[in-house]
Structure 1
Amino acid sequence: MMRWSARGKMTAMYGGVFLAIGLVLLLINYLIVLAILPSPAAAVARAVPALPGDAFPLPQGNTTLMYTAGEIADDFRSTTVSTVLWASGVALLIGGVIATFASWYMAGRVLQPVHTITATARRLGAENLTRRINMDGPDDELKELANTFDGMLDRLASAFDSQTRFVANASHELRTPLAVQRTLVEVAMADPAATPELKKLGQQLLMTNERSERLIEGLLVLARSDRGLQGRVAVRLDEVAETVLTSSAGLAKEHEVSVHKVIRPRTVFGDPVLLERLITNLVQNAIRYNYGGGSVLVEVGGSPAVRVVNTGPVVPVEALPGLFEPFRRLERTSTSGGSGLGLSIVRSVVRAHDGSVGASVRAEGGLDIRVDFPPAYSVMTTSNTIPAST
């Protein structure tokens, strides 16, 4: 079904109104001409009163026919009305074409501020809230709309700045006490006079402290990725994946999971820290939510850019959407020690990079997660940041 643009609708409306008014004028003109022209009998009686019934020779092609004065007047009146009607119709058609083009032009001028507002809104992002419309012109409804939009952007920019400051302060205020607590517990456990009960309690406190640190770190990363990207540089996903797999070897050994990889070169323009966190979450989730003797396959390449497939418990299809929500975990994985933010961080990072993420269940158990990003050249052409060389 064809979708009309606002400009096309306004053009059709203006052109239709013009044609309707033109038809009314044509009808009025036609009626006026009929009323002004006298009847043939009266005209003949006034013009040739002595010869109302006499015939006059008139040439018709190669012959000459005889017509009475009344017939001549009646033919003249019909010809005049037809000529007026035909000429008016041609004028209406020409005027309609001109009105259509004029309506298209005027609609474009009227809607230009709306296009400016739309273009500004499309270029906005959490990382760039400095653009404004700053519309000039008379104080009409469109200027009022543009000023309202600029005011909304001012409030959004202020809110994002406040969030940035809050995240920076929270990063310091929350991490420092946890680091102090961990140090105190480790010192207490290292004391030779510590009893076995104290050491057992210390181990439990360290596990709780570590989980709290992961939770806070996840929340901070989630908040950072939700704010968008402050800049973009060229990131080699294949190199990032190799680094993540190397650092995750100990975790895989601990869970008795074998990791396989198919790594091909792939460059993405974005934030290297967030992209590394994305791959780390995918790989570590695939290892943690697995079973002893299971496997994980990590692929990096063209499309999808990143794919992680793991064995493990069977995941219900209806549970897939909830896996990407914060603190949403399956019942069977709620005791794995995770914070419940892994895949939500993945989704947030992917959105910040204008990508897409999807997951599907495997019949034999586990998940198949695919992440894709736009081509590097398309991001480079729309970015205001000069990418670093690979």
Structure 2
Amino acid sequence: MTLRTRLTAWYGGVFLIAGIALIGLNYWLLASFAPVDAGIAVARGIPATQLDPYSGSVTLEAAQLPADTLVVTADQVKVDTMNTVLWQSIIALLVAAVIAVWLGWVVAGRVLAPLHSITSTAHRLEAERLDQRIELDGPPDELKELADTFDGMLDRLASSFDSQKRFVANASHELRTPLAVQRTLIEVALAAPDANDDMRRLGTHLLDTNERSEKLIDGLLVLARSDRGLATRELVWLDEVIDDEIESCAALASEKKVTFAVRTRRYLVDGDPVLLAQLVGNLLRNAVLYNKPGGSVSVELDRELVVANTGPTVPAQAVPGLFEPFRRLRDRTGTAGSGLGLSIVQSVARAHQGAAKARPNGGGGLVVQVNLPETGVRQPS
């Protein structure tokens, strides 16, 4: 039941209670009133004004009355009057109650209109569209205070998001630059003619560590970017992105002796092509890295993107934790991953108003399902 319906019910209920109380009070006052103490004689053919007991009645003997005179006692008049007043009051109350409920519905709608404005503004908000404001006009009441508080909260959020954007942009430069310098220095040292075996082993280890750090930083930056939402959108053919990412993973799949089984259709998405490529690439690389030698990766794109591999058995209770940053299964810690793959997949899917979920594969491995809204653009045949 909506708030407007509940308010209308409250208005109607209070009106009915007040109306019933008023009818009861009138009925009680009428019951305690006695207009006459004796009988009333009503003769046929006599004008009603002459029979009104309030206009000055005359006391007569019964023998003086005409033969066709109708005599009514005071108690009968009182009972008839009370019954007439009661039923007319009930009918009037029911009609007034219907009108009161309708008026209550209209008034409740006008009172709650600012709340609908607040809700609509909240629905239009995105990380990259925090310029929406309610700016409610009206008297300084509770609803005006609520709208102004909401606008103030949006101002603080916009400032916070702008600060985060600047931080991510600066961190992208400040973190990548020293790592690139370190990698160059290590490669120069390894290329030196006087480099011995111990130095080469140490340099190889440092290069591997440097590469893992670069991947970790890239993953964190992508995760931060997708969490902020989409700055720009364009039409992207998701099936073409899948083909490109499969080609990029071909060398890794060949090294791991993993084969792909692909079945896709034309699928158009309105979003960020870089983030969508990152989503698909993370899914495919995870499916290859966490697979068994000679395994396979199934990629299907119909109503949603489904990527399944034939890796080791994944406990069902451990699946939700795989979408958290740096959370991996115990037997996966020796791989080259950073624990951000599925976190980025989920974040990018949410940025595109989609969702990502996973479940254990029946024969071992993991099945990841990503639902991305397909655009209404007509696809070519």
TM-score by length of 1: 0.89
Q: 2:18 — aligned with what?
A: 21
C-alpha displacement at 1:88, in angstroms? Answer: 1.4
CA distance in 2 between partners of 1:96 and 1:258 (Å): 74
> Which runs of structure 2 are paired with 1:270-281 in the superposition (5 Å)?
270-281=271-282
Identity across matched positions, percent: 54
Can you list the C-alpha shifts for 1:175-220, whole angstroms capped at 9, x where unaligned?
A: 0110111111111111122111111111101100000000000000
Q: 1:175 — aligned with what?
A: 176
Q: Per the alignment, in what secondary structure is the counterpart of residue 111 of structure 2?
A: helix
Q: 2:314 — aligned with what?
A: 315
- For structure 1, which segment, 275-284 or 309-318, has the greater mean C-alpha deviation from structure 2 after superposition? 309-318
CA distance in 2 between partners of 1:126 and 1:53 (Å): 100
Asked whether the equivalents of residues 267 and 374 of structure 2 are also in contact (C-alpha less than 8 Å), the reply is no
Q: 2:332 — aligned with what?
A: 333
Q: 1:383 — aligned with what?
A: none
CA distance in 2 between partners of 1:55 and 1:363 (Å): 107
Asked whether the equivalents of residues 303 and 372 of structure 1 are also in contact (C-alpha less than 8 Å), the reply is yes
> Which runs of structure 2 are paired with 1:97-116 in the superposition (5 Å)?
97-116=98-117
Q: 1:360 — aligned with what?
A: 359
C-alpha displacement at 1:40, in angstroms? Answer: 4.7
Which residues of structure 1 form unaligned runs of 5+?
A: 59-65, 381-388
Which residues of structure 2 form unaligned runs of 5+?
A: 42-52
Q: Per the alignment, in what secondary structure is the counterpart of residue 198 of structure 1?
A: helix
Q: Per the alignment, in what secondary structure is the counterpart of residue 208 of structure 2?
A: helix
Q: Per the alignment, in what secondary structure is the counterpart of residue 47 of structure 1?
A: coil
C-alpha displacement at 1:48, in angstroms? Answer: 4.0
Alignment of 1:259 onto 2:269: no
Asked whether the equivalents of residues 126 and 160 of structure 1 are also in contact (C-alpha less than 8 Å), the reply is yes
Alignment of 1:351 onto 2:334: no
1:163–1:309 distance in 2 versus 1, CA, 3 Å: same
Q: Per the alignment, in what secondary structure is the counterpart of residue 38 of structure 2?
A: helix
CA distance in 1 between partners of 2:368 and 2:37 (Å): 91
- For structure 1, which segment, 124-133 or 39-48, has the greater mean C-alpha deviation from structure 2 after superposition? 39-48
C-alpha displacement at 1:79, in angstroms? Answer: 2.4
Can you list the C-alpha shifts for 1:111-158, whole angstroms capped at 9, x where unaligned?
A: 111111111111111121110000001000100000000000000000
Alignment of 1:231 onto 2:232: yes
Q: 1:384 — aligned with what?
A: none
C-alpha displacement at 1:363, in angstroms? Answer: 2.9
1:136–1:57 distance in 2 versus 1, CA, 3 Å: farther
Asked whether the equivalents of residues 263 and 300 of structure 2 are also in contact (C-alpha less than 8 Å), the reply is yes
C-alpha displacement at 1:374, in angstroms? Answer: 2.1
> Which runs of structure 2 are paired with 1:140-159 in the superposition (5 Å)?
140-159=141-160
Asked whether the equivalents of residues 40 and 77 of structure 1 are also in contact (C-alpha less than 8 Å), the reply is no
CA distance in 2 between partners of 1:350 and 1:183 (Å): 36
- Which of 1, 5, 10 is the aligned partner of 1:8? 5
Q: Per the alignment, in what secondary structure is the counterpart of residue 32 of structure 2?
A: helix
> Which runs of structure 2 are paired with 1:371-382 in the superposition (5 Å)?
371-377=370-376
Can you list the C-alpha shifts for 1:25-68, whole angstroms capped at 9, x where unaligned?
A: 1111222223334245277798342326877655xxxxxxx643
Can you list the C-alpha shifts for 1:346-383, whole angstroms capped at 9, x where unaligned?
A: 00001111111111112321011111122313xx8xxx
CA distance in 2 between partners of 1:13 and 1:267 (Å): 50
Name the amino acid aligned to 1:176. Answer: T
- For structure 1, which segment, 173-182 or 31-40, has the greater mean C-alpha deviation from structure 2 after superposition? 31-40
1:265–1:195 distance in 2 versus 1, CA, 3 Å: same
Name the amino acid aligned to 1:28. Answer: L
Q: 1:62 — aligned with what?
A: none
1:54–1:206 distance in 2 versus 1, CA, 3 Å: farther
Name the amino acid aligned to 1:323. Answer: L
Name the amino acid aligned to 1:271. Answer: D
CA distance in 2 between partners of 1:275 and 1:134 (Å): 36
1:57–1:105 distance in 2 versus 1, CA, 3 Å: farther
CA distance in 1 between partners of 2:321 and 2:114 (Å): 41
> Which runs of structure 2 are paired with 1:49-68 in the superposition (5 Å)?
49-51=59-61, 67-68=70-71
- For structure 1, which segment, 79-88 or 170-179, has the greater mean C-alpha deviation from structure 2 after superposition? 79-88
Can you list the C-alpha shifts for 1:229-260, whole angstroms capped at 9, x where unaligned?
A: 11221110010001001111011111111122
Name the amino acid aligned to 2:155. Answer: D
CA distance in 2 between partners of 1:57 and 1:293 (Å): 121
Q: 1:303 — aligned with what?
A: 303
1:251–1:38 distance in 2 versus 1, CA, 3 Å: same
Asked whether the equivalents of residues 56 and 67 of structure 1 are also in contact (C-alpha less than 8 Å), the reply is no
CA distance in 1 between partners of 2:298 and 2:27 (Å): 83
Name the amino acid aligned to 1:121. Answer: A
Q: 1:242 — aligned with what?
A: 243
Name the amino acid aligned to 1:264. Answer: R
Q: 1:386 — aligned with what?
A: none
Name the amino acid aligned to 1:303. Answer: R
1:323–1:55 distance in 2 versus 1, CA, 3 Å: farther
CA distance in 1 between partners of 2:318 and 2:150 (Å): 39
CA distance in 2 between partners of 1:209 and 1:56 (Å): 126
Asked whether the equivalents of residues 215 and 339 of structure 1 are also in contact (C-alpha less than 8 Å), the reply is yes
CA distance in 2 between partners of 1:190 and 1:25 (Å): 102
Name the amino acid aligned to 1:373. Answer: L
Asked whether the equivalents of residues 233 and 269 of structure 1 are also in contact (C-alpha less than 8 Å), the reply is yes
1:166–1:57 distance in 2 versus 1, CA, 3 Å: farther
Q: 2:121 — aligned with what?
A: 120
